[in-house]
Amino acid sequence: MEIIIQRNPAAVSAVAARLFRHQLAERAASVFGLATGSTPLGLYRELIAMQADFSQATTFNLDEYAGLGPDHPQSYAHFMRVNLFDHLTRPPARTHIPDGTGADPRSHCAEYEAAIHAAGGIDLQLLGLGTNGHIGFNEPSSSLASRTRLKTLTPKTIEDNARFFGSAADVPRHVITMGIGTILEARHCLVLAFGEAKAQAVAAMAEGPITASCPASVLQMHPHCTLLVDEAAAEALQRVDYYRWVYDNKPAWQLK
């Protein structure tokens, strides 16, 4: 895992935007895995500011709340429109977000997996990190081989996300999320984390044991994972000096 520490969230978002731009330059018809929450907002603002050309790209979002239709202001479908898609002059040719309202979630999840496969798999998967180490909505104890499915949120995640809904009681209990096995198939995983609230999860993910108790830790097994954090989120890492050394000495051929 490559660990990149930047001064603040703005600097992290700028580096992440460069990785997106590079991916688009490599292949205009790239397939992106996209994330929601507060973490990717700075990156999405950068992509809008640079008017990145997604017109040949395909996107798949990680997750969606069960029971919220695409017009619900807290649905992730709505989030993606207001925070990214509606502001791009060249939006993605094809966007996919799990449908949290279907009568048959199991079939829908299988179809979502099939659509990712049919698109040729995900080239660059963006991920935030839950304070409990979740990725997507794969809560601690999720199977590290899991596929897209319906999940029940932990009280901790409901509490963390209550700020978007006004109260914890309004946060749906269930979600549809790509599985950990699904995420691991992306060719490049990019995890962003900001702030001291994420410091323990970042350390557990990068330096702790690989365990379903911290789902993000499985990314230690991924052949191409970039963890991009600000100073505060890096606070609990043991080998900070080494990670900085590696980044400062990154050979030119590896800068992509």
Decide: is 63 part of the binding site for ligand GLP (CB under 6 A).
yes
User: Hey, which residues does 61 pair with through a beta bridge?
Assistant: 34
Instruction: Say if strands 174-177 and 149-152 run parallel, antiparallel, or are unpaired.
Output: antiparallel
Decide: is 130 part of the binding site for ligand GLP (CB under 6 A).
yes
DSSP label at 218? Answer: G
**The only residue of 157, 182, 217, 226 in contact with ligand GLP, by rule CB under 6 A:** 157
Decide: is 128 part of the binding site for ligand GLP (CB under 6 A).
yes
- Closest CB to ligand GLP among 40 and 92? 40
**The only residue of 60, 112, 137, 243 in contact with ligand GLP, by rule CB under 6 A:** 137
Whether 63 is catalytic: yes
Whether 139 is catalytic: yes
Which one of the listed residues 99, 113, 139, 231 is annotated catalytic? 139
User: Which window, 91-99, 127-135, 216-224, 246-254, contacts ligand GLP (CB under 6 A)?
Assistant: 127-135
- In whole angstroms, give the CA distance from residue 193 to residue 130: 9
Which tokens sit at 5? 């520490």
Decide: is 161 part of the binding site for ligand GLP (CB under 6 A).
yes
DSSP label at 43? Answer: H
Q: Indicate the SS3 state at residue 227.
A: strand
- In whole angstroms, give the CA distance from residue 62 to residue 136: 6
In the bound complex, what is the minimum distance in angstroms from residue 128's beta carbon to ligand GLP?
2
Which tokens sit at 236? 């609990």
In the bound complex, what is the minimum distance in angstroms from residue 199's beta carbon to ligand GLP?
13
User: Given the structure tokens 């749906």, which residue do they identify?
Assistant: 172
Q: Among 23, 81, 98, 83, which Cα is nearest to 53's?
A: 23
In the bound complex, what is the minimum distance in angstroms from residue 236's beta carbon to ligand GLP?
16
- In whole angstroms, give the CA distance from residue 118 to residue 47: 26
Whether 123 is catalytic: no
> Annotated catalytic sites, by residue?
63, 132, 134, 139
Site residues for ligand GLP per CB under 6 A: 35-39, 62-63, 128-130, 136-137, 157, 161
